[in-house]
Amino acid sequence: MLVLSLVPSGIGFVLFVYGKKQERWMHVAAGLALMVYPYFTSTVTQMLIGGALIGGAFWWAVQNGW
């Protein structure tokens, strides 16, 4: 679980840094969410579903102009 949690956390860190440099606050928020949510999951299924939901919400928000 610890090694698997590095994947969404790494993606979240990249989004966070990019959003901070470009002043895109939706990227910062999605990055923070991706970095934090693995701490609150106890199974691989929860981690996959949580990541998919956060990623989907981020994609939807960016497509709609946020």
Domain boundaries, the chain: 2-63
For residues 44 and 25, what is the distance between their CA atoms, to the nearest angstrom? 28
Please tell me which residue, 66 or 29, carries the higher pLDDT value.
29
**pLDDT band at 66; cut points 50, 70, 90:** confident
For residues 39 and 24, what is the distance between their CA atoms, to the nearest angstrom? 25
- pLDDT confidence of residue 1: 87
pLDDT tens per residue, range 14-46: 999 999 999 999 999 999 999 999 999 999 999
**pLDDT band at 49; cut points 50, 70, 90:** very high
pLDDT tens per residue, range 1-12: 889 999 999 999
